[in-house]
């Protein structure tokens, strides 16, 4: 049997969001080993489809380096024992989804037959393997252009090509806690919840009235910027409690006890469980909730993994496209602000985003989710301050966010709709498949989700962008030609000067590509993908290096060509539609509830 090792020594949320990758590897015939941070042993035990779990001894490796009396030799011994053990296991595939220099060095020491993700080459230089790894790094730099959820990216990092996975849950046992929905695509998150944990929940919620809705509340978050004010949570529960019979459970770590107590103080009926639940009990309690209302947190991903609907208030550096709860029917609210999202390590002095989501709005959304009743009144009152999305799966099995309101179409929205379809095939290496991408389908999606009142501006942007796209394509084609010439002459004697000259021109082209992308920011996703791909070039001889470089330039030129073609075709489709509708009609106006979204709740 093939053996795969997944290296995931990051946070709890990342660990849960890797469950689809673990299941996918198992489904594709691998014996799966997970290397995880020792702090999350209980989370690892709840993940299905793992044959072996190995905790990473962070304390024994790192602490001797930072303690006053620590010994470097102790760190070296602990690290060598671990890597020797993993190296001797002889993995066919190592998938590194912890994108750090340390994890890259770790993967180099493990030295599997094939490594996907960051590792090091023989000279100790960073090596990036896999188009989806390149995309992940690209998305971190160009967040506004990313339309893939982290669960899907993790899944694809393992080079798992979708096939007949859309109905693989047809005979899954309900005890496996699969997130049940009609659009399950084989990647849905799963966590195993023990019978012992379920038994404990019965004691904790024994006072709940039969008709009361069990509402989970998570007022904490990893940073202050991501944390909706505690008083908003309390006010929301008061409003919701006046409309429905509810029993709130407040979840949090022991360090968040004071924060959770400040919410519970205003809601006498609430049960404050801050610091009183281990992860197994937390998962069991969340599974029994009718709804979890939370900031962007680890418990949010637990809820998605056990099938509990989530109302996610996404603030600060959190961005729904990246980290929305995975599954069908979750609701995400984001502020409508130019400064949102923050940079992950930025500390904000005004927290304007916290004021964009009112307690009244959150209460109305929660009530709508609990009763399956949505109305235009929500759009009329709150669309100016916040964006609201519902999660679903697209026809290719990727998570998508469908906006509750029809916003005006922007150049970035149009470009992202096209880029997502292109990336699906290109990142899997299916370059010929992009020829079959339907501009009509993309245009129809845009018509359903956006108002076209502003289309004249989008059209003008497209004309300018096409010029920049053609310039990028020309640079890529010139680079492809230079790399091809290098490949041809590298074996000849006496060509050192010519090789040097061609190498210098290639470097100049790379610099020109970056300068052009900074000038025309909408080119950045294509340019950055190319730049990271060059970090994956590996080889000892010039012929191999030139051949790989030639291919990357060719891919960049191809991507430019495809995006340009689709832009033109989508523009034509939209122009035809615009000529046949009255943009002043109510159905075409901005901030009107999306009819496709609404129909899901009828």
pLDDT of residue 10: 84
Q: Cα–Cα distance between 123 and 143 in angstroms, integer?
A: 31
CB 483 within 8 A of CB 550: yes
Residue 194 CA to residue 558 CA, distance in Å, equals 50
Separation of CA 348 from chain center? 23
State the pLDDT at residue 173. Answer: 33
Nearest 5°: the CA angle 97, 99, 103 is 90
Run means of pLDDT, 10 residues per run, the chain, 602 residues: 93 90 90 92 90 88 80 87 94 93 93 93 88 93 94 86 36 34 58 88 75 92 89 95 94 93 90 92 94 95 95 90 94 83 69 82 93 69 82 92 86 96 93 90 91 87 94 97 88 72 92 96 96 85 89 95 95 85 45 39 32
Round the CA-based radius of gyration of the chain to a whole number and report it: 26
Look up the CATH number of the domain holding residue 97.
3.40.50.2000
How much is the pLDDT for 472? 98
d(CA 106, CA 122): 13
> Of 423, 535, 551, nearest to 117 (Cα)?
535
Task: Specify whether the CB–CB gap between 117 and 107 falls below 8 A.
Answer: yes
Q: In 244-318, where does DSSP find H-type helix?
A: 257-264, 279-288, 298-306
| Same-domain check for residues 276 and 359 | yes
**Residues 114, 111: Cα–Cα separation, whole Å:** 8
DSSP result, 455-475: HHHHHHHHHHHHHHHHHHHHH
Measure CA of the first residue to CA of the last residue in the chain; give whole Å: 47
Cβ count within 10 A of residue 460: 11
User: In this structure, is residue 142 part of a structural domain?
Assistant: yes
User: Which of 113, 137, 161 represents a domain boundary (last residue)?
Assistant: 161
Residues 400 and 461 in one domain: no
Specify whether 265 is located in the same domain as 344. yes
Q: How far apart are CA 289 and CA 277, in angstroms?
A: 15
Contact 418, 440 (CB under 8 A): no
Specify whether 127 is located in the same domain as 18: yes
State residue 54 phi and psi, 5-degree precision: -120, 120
In this structure, the answer to whether residues 201 and 78 fall within a common structural domain is no
Question: Residue 158 belongs to what H/E stretch?
Answer: none
Same domain, yes or no: 485 and 578: yes
Cβ(147)–Cβ(321) under 8 Å?
yes
Tell me, yes or no, whether 387 and 469 share the same domain: no
Q: State the pLDDT at residue 205.
A: 77
Last residue of a domain, one of 356, 382, 405: 405
Alpha-carbon 29 to chain mean position: 25
219 and 348 inside one domain: yes
- Tell me whether residue 293 is in a domain: yes
Q: Looking at the structure, do residues 150 and 286 belong to the same domain, yes or no?
A: no
Phi and psi, residue 508, nearest 5°: -65, -40
Domain assignment present for residue 466? The answer is: yes
Residue 172 lies in a domain: no
| Residue 416 domain flag | yes
Are 317 and 345 members of one domain? yes
The confidence score (pLDDT) of residue 71 equals 83
What is the residue-wise DSSP string for 172-200?
--GGG-----TT--S--------HHHHHH
DSSP 8-state code for residue 165 = -
Tokens of 148: 């893939």
For every residue of 419-449, DSSP letters joined together read: HHHHHHHHTTT-TGGGGG--HHHHHHHHHHH
Same domain? For 243 and 150 the reply is no
φ, ψ for residue 166, nearest 5 deg: -70, -20
- Each residue's pLDDT tens digit, 31-56: 999 999 988 888 899 998 999 999 98
The answer to whether residue 596 is domain-embedded is yes
Domain termination site, one of 375, 405, 435: 405
pLDDT at 473: 97
User: pLDDT at position 591, please?
Assistant: 39
Give the C-alpha distances (Å, rounded to integers) separating 446 from 189, 337, 452, 525: 29, 22, 9, 20
Q: From residue 362, how far is each of 80, 104, 299, 321 by CA, in Å?
A: 51, 42, 18, 20
Provide the pairing of β-strand 399-403 with 386-393: antiparallel
Beta-carbon neighbour count of residue 333 at 10 Å? 23
With residues binned 3-state (H G I as helix, E B as strand, rest as coil), the percentages for the chain, rounded to 5, are: 55, 15, 35
- In angstroms, rounded to a whole number, what is the distance separating the alpha carbons of residues 551 and 561? 15
Cβ neighbours of 445 (radius 10 Å)? 19
**Residues 20 and 72 reside in one and the same domain:** yes
179 occurs within a structural domain: no
Which pLDDT score, from 0 to 100, does residue 75 have? 87
Query: What pLDDT is recorded for position 355?
Result: 79
Residue 186 lies in a domain: no
Beta strand 331-335 pairing with 386-393:
antiparallel
Question: What does the longest C-alpha to C-alpha distance in the chain come to?
Answer: 88
Q: Which domain holds residue 332?
A: 195-405
| Helix ranges restricted to H, 343-386 | 353-356, 359-371, 376-382
Question: What's the rounded Cα separation, in Å, for the pair 182 and 13?
Answer: 25
Sign of CA pseudo-dihedral 451, 454, 456, 462? negative
Two tokens, residue 29: 């015939």
Domain count, the chain: 3
């Amino acid at each position: 049997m093939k053996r795969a090792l997944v290296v995931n020594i990051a946070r709890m949320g990342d660990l849960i969001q890797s469950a689809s990758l673990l299941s996918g590897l198992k489904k594709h015939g691998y014996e799966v080993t997970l290397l995880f941070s020792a702090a999350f042993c209980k989370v690892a035990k709840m993940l299905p489809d793992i044959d072996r779990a190995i905790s990473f001894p962070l304390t024994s490796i790192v602490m001797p380096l930072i303690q006053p009396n620590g010994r470097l030799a102790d760190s070296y011994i602990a690290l060598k024992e671990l890597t020797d053990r993993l190296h001797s296991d002889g993995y066919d595939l190592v998938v590194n989804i912890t994108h750090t220099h340390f994890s890259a060095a770790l993967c180099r020491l493990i030295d599997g037959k094939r490594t996907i993700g960051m590792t090091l080459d023989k000279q100790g230089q960073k090596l990036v393997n896999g188009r989806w790894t390149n995309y992940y790094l690209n998305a971190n730099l160009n967040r506004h252009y990313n339309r893939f959820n982290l669960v899907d990216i993790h899944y694809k990092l393992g080079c798992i090509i979708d096939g007949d996975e859309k109905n693989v849950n047809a005979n899954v046992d309900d005890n496996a806690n699969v997130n049940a929905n009609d659009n399950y695509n084989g990647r849905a998150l799963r966590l195993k919840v023990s019978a012992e944990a379920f038994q404990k929940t019965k004691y904790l919620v024994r006072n709940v009235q039969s008709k009361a809705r069990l509402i989970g509340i998570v007022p904490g978050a990893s940073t202050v910027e991501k944390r909706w004010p505690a008083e908003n949570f309390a006010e929301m529960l008061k409003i919701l409690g006046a409309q429905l019979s509810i029993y709130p459970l407040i979840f949090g770590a022991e360090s968040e006890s004071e924060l959770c107590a400040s919410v519970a103080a205003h809601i006498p009926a609430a049960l404050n469980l801050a610091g009183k639940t281990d992860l197994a009990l937390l998962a069991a309690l969340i599974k029994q909730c009718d709804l979890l209302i939370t900031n962007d947190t680890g418990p949010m991903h637990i809820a998605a993994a056990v099938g509990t609907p989530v109302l996610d208030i996404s603030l600060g550096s959190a961005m729904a496209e990246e980290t929305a709860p995975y599954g069908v029917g979750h609701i995400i609210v984001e502020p409508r602000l130019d400064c949102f999202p923050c940079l992950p390590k930025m500390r904000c002095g005004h927290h304007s985003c916290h004021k964009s989501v009112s307690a009244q709005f959150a209460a109305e959304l929660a009530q709508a989710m609990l009763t399956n009743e949505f109305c235009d009144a929500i759009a009329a009152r709150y669309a100016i301050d916040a964006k609201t999305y519902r999660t679903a799966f697209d026809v290719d099995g990727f998570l998508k966010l469908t906006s509750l309101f029809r916003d005006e179409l922007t150049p970035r929205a149009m470009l992202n709709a096209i880029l997502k379809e292109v990336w699906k095939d290109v990142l899997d290496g299916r370059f010929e498949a992009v020829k079959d991408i339907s501009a009509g389908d993309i245009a129809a999606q845009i018509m359903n989700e956006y108002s076209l009142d502003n289309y004249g501006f989008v059209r003008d942007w497209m004309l300018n962008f096409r010029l920049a796209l053609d310039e990028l394509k020309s640079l890529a084609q010139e680079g492809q030609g230079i790399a091809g010439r290098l490949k041809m002459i590298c074996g000849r004697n006496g060509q050192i000067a010519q090789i040097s000259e061609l190498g210098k021109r290639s470097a100049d082209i790379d610099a020109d590509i970056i300068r052009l992308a900074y000038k025309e920011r909408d080119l950045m996703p294509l340019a950055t993908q190319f730049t990271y791909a060059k970090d994956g070039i590996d080889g000892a001889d010039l012929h191999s290096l030139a051949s790989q470089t030639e291919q990357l330039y060719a891919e960049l030129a191809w991507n430019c060509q495809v995006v340009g073609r689709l832009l033109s075709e989508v523009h034509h489709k939209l122009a035809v539609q615009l000529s046949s509708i009255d943009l002043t009609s109510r159905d075409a106006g901005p901030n009107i509830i999306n009819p496709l979204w609404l129909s899901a709740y009828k």
